Chain A
């Protein structure tokens, strides 16, 4: 499905700010995989997503998605196959435009000079009602009036309205309050399993990294240092992950943003 072969990215090469964000990283993702990714700040998790989504072109290596080499493809072209959510709920929607207009843009279809038909409107309304947030009655309201959680749920819907080959979730619930985060996470699971999406999710919550999906990657200094799935993953605890991190990276996982324990 997604084959990443030996990609590297160095920012500001040849200056004092030179930073190797990704170093010789390879990854094979199977169709239908739901992979959680953990790691300290600056481990290269978001940079990996940027590389996959095409925010920049990698220095070396290749990226093949669904049999198509997208290494040199620009971001908006890759977006046809890749849906993406960011931590900041404001990034995924246009605040001055209505819910309907935002969704219509994401759904695409029709010619450039075509209008939204009544049937399409009804379809979009139905999609929004699935969220269970009452947004279907506010289709003409500007998105800027919605709460962060509602905007993130809408962004999730926009990213999946045309089921993407790959869904990238970059700590998409981290900026929400715990209750809203749980709702958005549940919506995410529902949509991913209903559409049978292949999904990569960065999370700072080690417990949900183990609970969600079928495979967990641990990153450090631009490389994948631990990759666990199947039976081994079922028997892994948060403490095991911490021990693995210490063993593989040679340092303790010290990150005040990381939730080491499940919220009780």
Chain B
């Protein structure tokens, strides 16, 4: 038990940190119906920008700076798909690839940055909580504040007229147009907001582990999608708030399962394979289930034919 508790705390920290990316995908994938493949690059962008600003001596400024970088990245992705006729998947891939170069440039022509001696929001919180009962939970406190802030922000955002319009854009773009709203506009806003969350997620992860490397975001889109789909299994089709809570819960459950698997001697490099399998099953499952009667019938027909020929 003594060894499990810190492990669980780490799982909670990592889960909550990635839950910001899951919430970003909740907005782009579940609400806007856009699979944003620039997520990996944007996550790294947030980590890189946040690290550079923190290293420059602005630990608090690093968060909004990372988010702003995310907004810019989302804006470019949206611009490509709404104004330039680039397919939404391809737009994400293009931006993702471009961000690789951008990220190395941001980190000053280096693929790794060290923040061991850097003041970050985490070290600030550690100082603040020094001597209190929460002194070993300083990471968790920072992350919980961030997740709570994003949750509340997103929840109210989705209730505003703009939020409603964004939800409708993913649901029925024709209806949005006939409500005198330009779907290109709502898609752009949605992607800017979601990418700001993704970047914040990357920024926090980098600062909590005191380093950022160019691969920090690799596979993040699949990990986050897996978490999102796990969360969806918990809440089904309920209210928007519950579905958002489900997304956060999904991120945590994913991390716990992963941590347990690690304890059972699963090598760490399996993370991405596991997340890919989860996403594939979660998306393919309902389809295969819907095809099941057809498959059963085919088998029955084939069996009947065989019997007849005997």
- Measuring CB to CB, which residues of chain A are less than 8 angstroms from any residue of chain B? 74-77, 79-80, 83-84, 91-97, 101-102, 104-106, 108, 110-116, 142, 158-159
B172 within 8 A of A: yes
A108 near B167 with CB under 8 A, answer: no
Contacts A94-B167, A95-B171, A97-B168; is A75 near B160 (CB within 8 Å)?
no
B178 near A92 with CB under 8 A, answer: yes
A80 near B180 with CB under 8 A, answer: yes
Shortest CB–CB separation between residue A89 and chain B, in angstroms? 12
Q: Which of the four size classes fits the interface of chain B?
A: 20 to 34
B164 near A97 with CB under 8 A, answer: yes
Contacts A91-B172, A94-B168; is A79 near B161 (CB within 8 Å)?
no
Contacts A105-B165, A110-B161; is A94 near B180 (CB within 8 Å)?
no
B178 near A79 with CB under 8 A, answer: yes
Cβ-defined partner of A114 (8 Å) among B161, B171, B179, B182? B161
A105: B residues at CB distance < 8 A: 161, 164-165, 168, 175-176, 179, 181
Closest residue to A91 on the B side, CB-wise? B174
Interface 1/0s, chain B 145-171, versus A by CB < 8 A?
000000000001001111011011001
Cβ-defined partner of B179 (8 Å) among A96, A106, A116, A142? A106
Main secondary structure, interface of B, reads: helix
B180: A residues at CB distance < 8 A: 76-77, 79-80, 108
Q: Could you list 29 A-B pairs, sorted by A, with CB under 8 Å?
A: A74-B182, A76-B178, A76-B181, A76-B182, A76-B183, A77-B180, A79-B179, A79-B180, A83-B178, A92-B174, A93-B172, A94-B168, A94-B175, A94-B176, A96-B237, A97-B168, A101-B167, A101-B168, A104-B164, A105-B161, A106-B179, A112-B161, A112-B162, A115-B159, A115-B160, A116-B159, A142-B237, A158-B178, A159-B178
B124 within 8 A of A: no
Shortest CB–CB separation between residue A158 and chain B, in angstroms? 8
B171 near A97 with CB under 8 A, answer: yes
A95 near B161 with CB under 8 A, answer: no
Main secondary structure, interface of A, reads: loop
Contacts A97-B168, A105-B168; is A91 near B175 (CB within 8 Å)?
yes
In the bound assembly, the distance between CA atoms of A84 and B174 in angstroms comes to 11
B182: A residues at CB distance < 8 A: 74, 76
Instruction: Give me 7 other A-B pairs in contact (C-beta within 8 A), A75-B177, A105-B176 excluded.
Output: A76-B177, A76-B183, A96-B237, A102-B175, A108-B179, A113-B161, A114-B161
A111: B residues at CB distance < 8 A: 161
Shortest CB–CB separation between residue B139 and chain A, in angstroms? 33
B174: A residues at CB distance < 8 A: 91-92
- Interface of chain B residues 52 through 81 with chain A (CB within 8 A): none
A96 near B161 with CB under 8 A, answer: no
B167 near A113 with CB under 8 A, answer: no
Shortest CB–CB separation between residue A199 and chain B, in angstroms? 16
Shortest CB–CB separation between residue A139 and chain B, in angstroms? 14
B160 near A112 with CB under 8 A, answer: yes
A96 near B160 with CB under 8 A, answer: no
B161: A residues at CB distance < 8 A: 104-105, 108, 110-116
In the bound assembly, the distance between CA atoms of A76 and B175 in angstroms comes to 10
B176: A residues at CB distance < 8 A: 76, 94, 105
In the bound assembly, the distance between CA atoms of A97 and B161 in angstroms comes to 13
